[in-house]
Structure 1
């Protein structure tokens, strides 16, 4: 009997061992069970692998909110050697340890990209009555690699190494669970619940509060751009914005009447200062009980259709504030509330009265809606289309898309949404809210490109025609410094369009001691430097509370600050052909406009550089982020305290400041190329720090050797003049190429091929510029034009003379420059 028991135990042992060592090949990869965990490896493409893990035998259906790609047929091999099963495509090798469960990723040459530290962790979790898990996965990173992304954080730092992030969407923090590495891979953690990312010397981990499974993607792009391209292939491509969105935008909190709003546009036209858009902020609907009614119920806006027409007649555009919540007296609230489409937690505003602090005896009753519910999104668009879109308004300022979650209680996460508890889907709120508007507008019309300005984002939102701004940030130098790495990490999260409130949102401290804060030199200096930074972001938009930001508030023509503002706006417009062509590269080639230096230069000194970046492939931007003329006032406020004008503190009125004095700052020029000072044409070899002279109207800008940059005409709005007389600057010292893109500037005909490209190629050895045959066509395309060619060399061509003027009729031209 004992012998039989022994044989039985041996058989059981081998059976268990055999089960642990087994796997099943599928069309996409393999399936296996390891240490009581179901594991599935799927090739979504030759460069992208999906990993799914769940407790053994637990069935579930996971439909991603971010991923839109379906797996493509990929040729791959599977080989087993000992405990290791290796899957290999023509781009990537994946090893699965059938004993420990650890998964490792390699290039085809055998270089390890990333490895799990250990198997998955599933901890039982009761999610508002649903049995699920808290999930955790640890990875091992190379100690010398740097990682970036995970959305926007106000940390003032670029690299994510040795960082812990509590990833829950907020006003000024937008979390996108996608990171990229200097080793050439990207990692997307596909989970929507509150999560913690932590990188320590021992491990790097993602831990999410709830999840039926662990679901992540590894993609190997070879470099940061390639990994971003893989992520967009997975979650959606970024469409083209209209040309007018790249001009200058004026806003404030808020224009209180129809006459005031139209008057701002009229004043810019009178002054001859370029302007393409104006924004109407909140309360055009009236009181807070009518919050976000999406109708002009405020009597100060008596004829909104005429208002829109007046703005359009001045060749400007209007976008308008809409929110993710509704007041109890709105039609939307009354339609959604009986259907359970509202989320009853504290949000902005907290009082039905306009007062600070909020009068809690008169609660606003405002509640966010459930954007996870398709019917709720239909209702949202129905009212938006009828109340605003029908008026011809050009785009949407979707505020509080995180949304505001005030007086937070843990039980708020138990609230039911269409897709389960709010906890389960919390971080995807902006994707669903913004995506709902984008999808409905695109279905309604293809004549006008979708343009959405929004305060929050999630993975995949680049496909929605949205530009995310950094929230209600403070008006301080430290806040300005924070915006650069915040924006760079955001754009490295595969969402290319980002901007900030130029001047910072909460600026009340600068009113102390001044009848007008715009006359306070401390604010003037900060504002001008922020504006110069904003000129080199994907959207140049001035906005804030307490201090009006229209140019005429800062003085008049001929005065130093006014002229510095006008010069910066005009510089932005001269670069529109460069910017618009770069935006086409975003759509067509998965490019990124606002670029961390580490994306373009193999230079260890730029891996964690927080104060410089590339704008497109040619322009290095080094914003002035420290006060040079005034004391650097410490200003602290947030979305709660910033509205409290009584507590505003700041510098008292003092002596006049001489903004005409020259100053200087240090700039690092990356190695591997030569650089041209944009203002003087001085040529400097990279790989060193220099001291650059600055003035209040100029920041350090450097052009990479081998660049070709088109400059547009002086205009009052983006489409005022055709690009029939462009200046083409060639920065010698290296070979270069640039493709000029043109289309109808608005509508989706470009998707049908209605656009043209002209490629300029520079051969530095021969000093020859080749202008290619024009490719493509579109209605209204120029048949003939002039290109004024200027070869930039150190100390050469600072006058208005050109080296060549070429009449171009769409056929190839080769010209040698002196």
Structure 2
């Protein structure tokens, strides 16, 4: 006869419990801890379950003999009550709430979640559902301030959680990514922060559950391994059939040609020649390209054959700047894509390749700048069953820590996510109107004249935006208007408000090392030093770095500097904050390890462990800072990065410096949807794209001279019109970009269909305002 023990427990009793021991588990409050009976190599030794509510159960696992103390950056204090019962049936520990049931195998640690009708919601794989590998942060990732890092902070665990998933399951969320993918089932996604890329450790299923994992490090969804260079995945042959490499042909704009073998296509990073830690392993400049070859205006072709080890749909990732096309087996698998030279993009695609067959491959690259990037890698082939599992990998954490959230529908799942991470703030109503921005207004006169023209033309607009470099050229981080261009900022703000407008200003967490604010922060140890040590200069020619937003004191000082130079100084006349480069983006286009060295170590630990969470602590600084000096005004932040929980700081995200192509508009649709389904409700984009192809620039210049609309200008105007139509129906309705400027009268004349269309959709947005503001209230509640 099987013995069953049942404990009926109320939340009140749980909270007052001092701890009690049952046959296979220890109970303390609403925590249940199991010492596993079968500790496998690379598996967990302890599991701890926390019943957060009827619909939320937290799972922690460790390979150590106990759990480390830690404080979450994304989870808010949980004061809810949950009635549940616990019973043991043999080696099974069963937790039942009013909404679901979790079953833990006390021998192996395997967990299965059920609804109350015994339908499986989520099931860990029987073998290898939780795996761990010890991880030590490499010295070079810590960088120049390695002496500041205690030895214990250098050590943690890489972990992987692996679950079964039925064929008809779909997954959404993970943040904002640019590969035109909506359902992430069977896909791979590297989760890190970058300009145009926002990673959020939360995913929802069409089976009405979600998983939020409390990790801040670099993570991977899908394949836990890095993409491979082509020569590690395939046998390579050149265009003449000789084994070992592809043929690379480089022709510069003067017709000079270089032909050489290429065993991989990996020209992805630029390294500073001044860096000591880089020079130990990497050379300065773009890696691996022919020395002395002039990229701008050149044409490059990589061609030959690949021979696959197995039949598979191979999953590739393309990293590119300039114009790219890829043909495999004679088929155009990547139609022409473009990205500006200084801001490369990644794009994923998959294609079938047969085992043992020499399959033709051709990569066509036209660099579009003196510096440009190109890379093509491929995931190791996996079976369809492996691809379709739910797999989460985290590079470095003290333990595995995730929350299982159940619901009757996906709204309830998102509600559970916000129970854990905080309510979405209710924004000022004006934020739902039309915003006019450009890169960039260069004076107070620019700001006032453009807003006035909207009013004169009776075109609705709520917000006008001051982008970067309103400060003196060599004074990034001063937060001070340059007097020659902004002689009276208070008068400018008063003028904007007199026209019933609002004013948003760009503030970066970046400081040149010559400015007073840098020196004040640095005196407390609150600046990252690697970029200074390596003498890295930005595109304006000056040297600087970012502050350590993980330190509470640094956050208070950062806000005080903003307040003294902008907010209180100008009588609370700044209505919103544009928090740019909050990844943090100390330098573009560097290897992952060097990015970590540039943005750490942090006050909490290495940047390896805290790699993805900078934007949320930076948002904390501004949200609580403004509330501290003006508690009766709603806060609004727009940030280029995002993370789980950021909605509680009245923060929205936009999709960064995207390009002005039809495929980029298409990519924003899936990017915005998955960002919103990651629990973060307010998102927007640079309508019309930010980075502009030279052909569009030339077309506008030709029109300015001749008044003639050529084919490129006609396409430009339609692209802007279509993008504004799309933008009308996203949470933040904002146009922005480089030249040509994006005021509607600068896009097309008043009698042009593009002008009429953009104005019509602007007015439609305001007709929708009661509905939009009601929805914002529903999101908050």
Change (3 A) 1:517 1:250: farther
Please state if 1:480 is matched with 2:660: no
Q: Which residue in the other structure is 2:68 paired with? A: 60
State the 1:69 CA deviation: 3.1
Q: Separation in 1 of the partners of 2:646 and 2:437?
A: 24
1:77-116 to 2 correspondences below 5 Å: 77-116=85-124
Match of 2:504 in 1: 319
The whole-number CA distance in structure 1 between the counterparts of 2:538 and 2:174 is 36
Partner of 2:161: 137
* Cα shift at 1:387: 1.1
Greater Cα shift, 269-278 or 323-332 = 323-332
CA contact (8 A) 1:162 1:201 kept: no
Aligned 8 A contact 1:20 1:98 in 2: no
Preserved contact between residue 508 and residue 547 of structure 1 (Cα < 8 Å): no
Q: Which residue among 571, 575, 583 is the counterpart of 1:402?
A: 583
Q: Alpha-carbon deviation of 1:207?
A: 1.2
Report if aligned partners of 2:104, 2:111 keep a CA contact under 8 Å in 1.
yes
Q: Secondary structure at the match of 2:701?
A: coil
Spell out the pairing of 1:703-714 with structure 2 (5 A cutoff).
Answer: none
Bigger drift between 371-380 and 192-201 goes to: 192-201
Q: How does 1:350-749 map to 2 (within 5 A)?
A: 351=537, 354=540, 362=541, 364-390=542-568, 391=570, 392-404=573-585, 405-406=587-588, 407-408=590-591, 410=593, 412-413=595-596, 415-509=600-694, 510-515=696-701, 520-588=713-781
Residues in 1 aligned to 2:437 and 2:405: alpha-carbon distance in whole angstroms? 40
Cα separation, 2, equivalents of 1:143 and 1:29: 34
Which residue in the other structure is 1:292 paired with? Answer: 477
Cα gap change, 1:463 to 1:558, in 2 (>3 Å):
same
The offset of 1:454, in angstroms, is: 1.1
Aligned-partner Cα distance in 2 for 1:312–1:243: 15
Q: Secondary structure of 2:385's partner?
A: coil
Compared CA separation, residues 189 and 546, structure 1 to 2 (3 A): same
Matches of 1:429 and 1:566, distance apart in 2: 38
Q: What is the CA distance between 1:447 and its match in structure 2?
A: 2.4
* CA-CA distance at 1:79 after TM superposition: 1.2
Shift of 1:542: 0.5
Match of 1:32 in 2: 34
- Cα deviation for residue 56 of structure 1 reads 3.5
Tell me if the contact between 1:499 and 1:538 (Cα under 8 Å) persists in the aligned partners.
yes
- What TM-score, normalized by structure 1, do the two folds share? 0.66
Aligned to 1:121: 131
1:42 and 2:50 are equivalent in the alignment: yes
Distance 1:180 1:517, change over 3 A: farther
Q: 1:71 & 1:214 partners in 2: Cα distance? A: 23
Hey, what's the Cα distance between the residues in 2 that align with 1:497 and 1:326? 28
Aligned twin of 2:464? 278
* Aligned partners of 2:199 and 2:612 also within 8 Å: yes
Over residues 619-661 of structure 1, what are the superposed CA-to-partner deviations in whole Å (9 max), with x where a residue is unaligned?
Answer: xxxxxxxxxxxxxxxxxxxxxxxxxxxxxxxxxxxxxxxxxxx
Kindly provide the CA deviation profile for residues 15-56 of structure 1, in whole angstroms up to 9, marking residues without a partner as x: xxxx99721233214111114411100011110000111123
* Aligned partner of residue 385 in structure 1, secondary structure: helix
Aligned to 2:317: none
Match of 1:184 among 185, 188, 208: 208
Runs of 5+ unmatched residues, structure 2: 1-20, 40-44, 140-150, 224-383
Number of equivalenced pairs: 561
Between 1:410-419 and 1:382-391, the stretch displaced more is 410-419
Q: Does 2:514 align with 1:329?
A: yes
- Aligned counterpart, 1:339: 524
Describe the SS at the equivalent of 2:162.
strand
CA distance in 2, matches of 1:283, 1:413: 26
C-alpha RMSD of matched pairs (Å): 2.1
The structure-2 alpha-carbon separation of the partners of 1:506 and 1:232, relative to structure 1 and needing over 3 Å to count, comes to: same
The CA distance in 1 between the partners of 2:81 and 2:61, in whole Å, is 22
Change (3 A) 1:427 1:409: closer
Q: 1:131 to 1:554 in 2, by over 3 A?
A: closer
- For residues 170 and 592 of structure 2, the distance between their equivalents in structure 1, rounded to whole angstroms, comes to 36
Greater relative contact order (Cα < 8 A, sep 6+): 2
Superposed CA offset, 1:511-560 (max 9, x none): 12431689611110000000011010111100001210011113343332
Quote how far apart the aligned CAs of 1:155 are: 1.2
- CA distances 1:297-343 after superposition (whole Å, capped 9, x unpaired): 35211111111011111110100000121111222211111222112
Instruction: Name 2:324's counterpart in structure 1.
Output: none
The answer to whether structure 1 residue 305 and structure 2 residue 486 are counterparts is: no
SS in 1 for 2:32: strand
Residue of structure 1 aligned with 2:431, choices 227, 245, 248: 245
How many Å apart are 1:413 and its aligned residue? Answer: 2.7
CA distance in 2, matches of 1:336, 1:494: 34
Indicate conservation of the 8 Å contact 1:179/1:188, yes or no: yes
Cα pair 1:183 1:222 within 8 Å, conserved: no
> Shift of the alpha carbon at 1:99?
1.6
Structure 2 length as normaliser, TM-score? 0.70
Q: 1:282 to 1:137 in 2, by over 3 A?
A: same
Q: CA deviation at 1:216?
A: 0.3
2:351 matched to 1:167?
no
C-alpha separation between the residues in 1 aligned to 2:189 and 2:637?
Answer: 27
Q: Would the aligned equivalents of 2:471 and 2:481 in 1 still touch at CA under 8 Å?
A: yes
Provide the residue aligned with 1:269 in structure 2.
Answer: 455
Secondary structure of 1:541 counterpart: strand
**In structure 1, what is the Cα distance between the partners aligned to 2:52 and 2:567?**
38
* 1:257 aligns to 2:443 (yes or no): yes
1:766-781 to 2 correspondence within 5 Å? none
Distance 1:563 1:263 in 2: 22
Structure 1 residues 69 and 277, CA gap change in structure 2 (3 angstroms): same
**Secondary structure in 2 matching 1:240:** coil
